[in-house]
């Protein structure tokens, strides 16, 4: 069995981690994205099934839990399940790439425990909770309820920063991209 490394990016929703992860995947051909399964609704204009997520019904998701298909799964938001599929990791490693995760904070800590020294857990941090709120509102993808749920959760998630291997402060995107690229390169080089 072939094994690569694992890069786990986690952060409160709205911190820009998905933008950073997408950048890394475009920039570095040695990285492959672990597409999660999710039961939430697809954001119609921007997301594709099998690219951003495998969008599943709750029944399909439960079946995968029963069949032990997940490394970790969680009800990230009430009624919405998200999970990392074992098959994704093997597929990416078999193709000779390192795997990149975009998950919530709890999921990230599970994955770090699972992969140990093979993984680098990166906490993407926003300068302040006000900026985070603004970013979420500007994104205009959330209902008022979903927005307040995400903000509540974000405040809680901020307290887990010290459990990560490294913090990436996301203030100016070009700098954040450069920092993320360097983190990946250095960790790939490491024996």
Give residues in contact with ligand 5GP (CB under 6 A). Answer: 13, 36, 40, 72, 74, 76, 82-84, 102-104, 107
Kindly state the DSSP code that residue 8 receives in the 8-state scheme.
E
Q: Least distance in Å: CB of 59 to ligand 5GP? A: 18
Residue carrying structure tokens 């951003």: 52
| Residue closer to ligand 5GP, measured from CB, 86 or 179 | 86
Residue with the two structure tokens 């020294």:
117
Of 30 and 43, CB closest to ligand 5GP = 43
Cβ partners under 8 Å of residue 184, min gap 6: 7, 24, 28, 31, 98, 120
Cβ 84 to ligand 5GP shortest distance, Å: 4
Cβ at position 191, least distance to ligand 5GP in Å: 29
- Taking Cα atoms as reference points, which of 15, 41, 22, 9 lies closest to residue 136? 15
* Tokens of residue 116, six digits: 């140990």
- Looking at the Cβ atoms of 35 and 184, the one nearer to ligand 5GP is 35
Closer residue to ligand 5GP (CB): 69 or 165 = 69
- Nearest distance in Å: CB 87, ligand 5GP: 13
| 122's tokens | 């990166």
Q: Which residue has the tokens 């080089």?
A: 189
| β-sheet bridge partners, residue 23 | none
């Amino acid at each position: 069995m072939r094994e690569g490394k694992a890069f786990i990016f986690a952060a409160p929703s709205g911190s820009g981690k998905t933008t950073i992860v997408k950048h890394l995947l475009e920039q570095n051909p040695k990285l492959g994205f672990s597409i999660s399964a999710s039961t939430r609704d697809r954001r119609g204009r921007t997301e594709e099934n099998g690219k951003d997520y495998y969008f599943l019904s709750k029944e399909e998701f439960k079946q995968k839990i029963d069949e032990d298909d997940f490394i970790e799964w969680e009800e990230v938001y009430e009624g919405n399940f998200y999970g990392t599929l074992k098959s994704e990791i093997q597929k990416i490693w078999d193709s000779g790439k390192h795997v990149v995760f975009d998950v919530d904070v709890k999921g990230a800590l599970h994955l770090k425990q699972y992969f140990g020294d093979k993984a680098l857990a990166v906490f993407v941090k926003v300068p302040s909770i006000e900026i985070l709120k603004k970013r979420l509102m500007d994104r205009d993808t959330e209902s008022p309820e979903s927005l307040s749920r995400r903000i509540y959760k974000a405040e809680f998630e901020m307290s887990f920063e010290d459990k990560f291997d490294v913090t990436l402060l996301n203030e100016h995107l070009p700098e954040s991209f450069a920092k993320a690229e360097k983190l990946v390169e250095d960790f790939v080089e490491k024996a």
